[in-house]
């Protein structure tokens, strides 16, 4: 690594404190740092490494400070930056807030820390808990009789002091996994992985030894217990307390834990991950007019789980104004300084779908700057759930006094770098006025096809929003067939707001197919049964929808209605459904009712079978 010196500067380039470790770089060289930085900023060529002659400045900015390392060697820049960020972390541990004032008020402590953190340009002790054992912020009195070297300096277990006592001995284990997903504009997952960490909060007396067991596939293979769900962990990194030789020999995670909070280990699982919250978006930009955005979010995780504090961040043009929002749940807010809409859903149950629509005005004078297409990003947290299936099988606590301790385990899945790319379409108003009946040329035919596609998008968007008058207008003015597909291959009947039976009647009157199914075999009758809108279901059946169409899982609409607890829907479907039909799990309607503990439905179904 070999850093020659470390400087802490204020925003004007004034040196607040510095430490010369090697003496091979003139300390006056730092005077060139800020002019170089300002020059690069003006030229738009800002770089993390600046050079003046044969001297290189590696720098970071934190709050109102610059932390700069100088060197005249071909040093490992990544290690220098790791040290600078560690320096910020240690200073923050000591002073709570790292600012110019905290440096000026603690010159002595900062000098001591710089001496201990690095020696001759190489990092030494960087653990703040160890440093706090012998570098304190309080004044110390000379007590010759009681003076002793801190145990963390001489003890083999340098990360834990002796003589720790607690009235109640407990260990809290947090298994936290972050999902990184990149989805392209066509809906294909380009890359995905899971980054996990196991964090501890230990409140244990004495010097205990802990042994942690996970459902590690390599461990199960070594012991011949290749049963149940296992995981393959890659890039495993441990806290220094873990006995690496023991882990390498038999995969046992054995350690004497630090007191308080610490990160025991981190890992990565490189596997295909199904996005837990799936986003479908339609973003249409009408030049000199407006931007229309429709976003549908669907929870693709277990129904018994709930995602908390979900944020869907949708980019909008920088010159957009006059925002208007409609959401089926949660709240939408325009954040102009970031050119985005933030749709917040506090509680998002698994298997549910929600819709957000946004309307923005655009100025009559078009912005000449070429804008990129930033992706939609999603933030969320799902407690009591891990997407990889990792499990803490046991936690053994061994201490010579033999006390009993309570281990607590918590699982959390959260979003990491979670991005879904979008297509921004140049919208065409869905008007289809016939002005000439002559045979169209090739260019005109292409324009007509494009107009029909845009009209199809407008139709499905209006149906999803439940806007009956707009659906009527598009069908009449554009003479559009109601089964025209949108860009996701869905018809208006498939995406319509199920609670609006008038839209269902309107589409079916115009010739919509009542039995249309998607790639999962789901027809509109399945959606009506799931959501419990009996009036819409009755309209579908009236226009010829079959209630005996199975979806991909073999479920009929009555199976879904039973599972969702819609008794009135089950009463309507029972005399019209094949009650002997079984899904792919071999369950009939009565079996589903039994599994769902629905005695009223069981009695109802038996009455129909016997009649």
C-alpha to C-alpha distance for 29 and 25, rounded to whole angstroms: 8
**Which residues have C-beta within 8 Å of that of residue 482, sequence separation ≥ 6?**
459, 475, 491, 492, 493, 507, 508, 510, 511, 512
pLDDT of residue 597: 79
pLDDT of residue 371: 65
pLDDT of residue 428: 44
Helix (H), strand (E) at residue 249: helix 244-250
What's the token pair of residue 426? 């140049």
User: How many C-beta atoms lie closer than 10 Å to residue 361's C-beta?
Assistant: 14
492 touches 472 (CB < 8 A): no
Nearest to 349 by CA among 330, 323, 333, 369: 330
CA angle 33, 36, 38 (to 5 degrees): 110
What's the token pair of residue 82? 């790791």
pLDDT of residue 226: 58
pLDDT of residue 450: 37
Domains belonging to the chain, first-starting first, are 5-134 (3.30.450.60), 170-273+387-419 (2.60.40.1170), 277-381 (2.60.40.1170), 514-611 (1.25.40.20)
558 touches 567 (CB < 8 A): no
CA angle 282, 284, 286 (to 5 degrees): 170
2 touches 121 (CB < 8 A): yes
pLDDT of residue 251: 85
pLDDT of residue 425: 60
pLDDT of residue 193: 92
418 touches 382 (CB < 8 A): no
pLDDT of residue 71: 94
CA 34 to the chain's CA centroid:
38
pLDDT of residue 391: 92
C-alpha to C-alpha distance for 278 and 296, rounded to whole angstroms: 8
pLDDT of residue 370: 57
Which residue shows structure tokens 């479908």?
A: 280
Phi, psi of 563 (to 5 degrees): -60, -35
pLDDT of residue 321: 86
Residues of the chain with pLDDT under 70: 1, 137-156, 224-228, 287-288, 364-371, 424-455
């Amino acid at each position: 690594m070999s850093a020659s010196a470390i400087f802490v500067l204020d925003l004007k380039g004034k040196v607040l404190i510095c430490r010369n470790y090697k003496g091979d770089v003139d300390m006056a060289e730092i005077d060139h740092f800020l002019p170089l930085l300002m020059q690069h900023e003006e030229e738009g060529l800002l770089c993390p490494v600046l050079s003046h002659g044969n001297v290189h400045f590696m720098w970071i900015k934190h709050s109102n400070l610059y932390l700069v390392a100088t060197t005249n060697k071909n040093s490992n820049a990544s290690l220098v930056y790791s040290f600078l960020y560690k320096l910020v972390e240690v200073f923050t541990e000591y002073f709570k807030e790292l600012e110019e004032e905290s440096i000026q008020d603690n010159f002595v402590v900062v000098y001591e820390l710089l001496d201990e953190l690095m020696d001759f340009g190489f990092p030494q002790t960087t653990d703040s808990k160890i440093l706090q054992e012998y570098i304190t912020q309080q004044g110390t009195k000379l007590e010759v009789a009681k003076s002793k070297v801190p145990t963390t300096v001489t003890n083999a277990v340098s990360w834990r002091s002796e003589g720790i006592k607690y009235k109640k001995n407990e260990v809290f284990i947090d298994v936290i996994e972050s999902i990184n997903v990149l989805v392209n504009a066509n809906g294909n997952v380009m890359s995905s992985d899971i980054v996990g960490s196991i964090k501890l909060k230990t409140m244990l007396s004495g010097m205990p030894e802990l042994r942690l067991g996970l459902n590690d596939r390599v461990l199960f293979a070594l012991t011949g217990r290749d049963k149940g769900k296992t995981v393959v962990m890659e890039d495993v990194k441990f806290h220094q307390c873990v006995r690496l030789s023991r882990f390498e020999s038999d995969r046992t995670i054995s350690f004497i834990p630090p007191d308080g909070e610490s990160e025991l280990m981190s890992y990565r699982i490189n596997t295909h991950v199904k996005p837990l919250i799936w986003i479908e978006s339609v973003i249409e930009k009408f030049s000199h007019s407006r931007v229309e955005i429709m976003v549908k979010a669907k929870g693709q995780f277990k129904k018994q789980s709930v995602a908390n504090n979900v944020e869907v961040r949708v980019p909008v043009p920088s010159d957009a104004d006059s925002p208007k929002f409609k959401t089926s749940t949660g709240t939408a807010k325009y954040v102009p300084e970031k050119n985005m809409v933030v749709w917040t859903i506090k509680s998002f149950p698994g298997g549910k779908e929600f819709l957000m629509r946004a309307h923005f005005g655009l100025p009559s004078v078009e912005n000449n700057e070429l804008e990129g297409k930033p992706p939609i990003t999603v933030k969320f947290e799902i407690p009591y759930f891990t997407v990889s299936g990792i499990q803490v099988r046991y936690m053994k606590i061994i201490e010579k006094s033999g006390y009993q301790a309570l281990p607590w385990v918590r699982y959390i899945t959260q979003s990491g770098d979670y991005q879904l790319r979008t297509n921004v379409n140049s919208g065409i108003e869905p008007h289809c006025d016939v002005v000439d009946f002559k045979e169209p040329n090739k260019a005109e035919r292409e324009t007509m096809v494009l107009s029909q596609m845009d009209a199809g998008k407008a139709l499905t968007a209006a149906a999803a929003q439940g806007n009956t008058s707009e659906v009527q207008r598009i069908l009449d003015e554009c003479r559009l067939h109601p089964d025209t597909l949108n860009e996701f291959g869905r018809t208006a009947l498939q995406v319509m707001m199920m609670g609006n039976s008038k839209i269902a009647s309107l589409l079916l009157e115009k010739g919509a197919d009542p039995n249309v199914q998607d790639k999962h075999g789901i027809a509109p009758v399945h959606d009506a049964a799931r959501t419990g809108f009996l009036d819409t279901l009755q309209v579908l059946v009236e226009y010829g929808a079959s209630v005996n169409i199975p979806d991909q899982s073999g479920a009929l609409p009555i199976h879904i209605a039973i599972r969702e607890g819609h008794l009135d829907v089950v009463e309507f479907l029972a005399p019209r459904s094949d009650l002997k039909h079984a899904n792919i799990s071999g369950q009939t309607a009565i079996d589903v009712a039994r599994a769902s503990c629905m005695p009223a439905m069981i009695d109802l179904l038996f009455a129909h079978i016997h009649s």
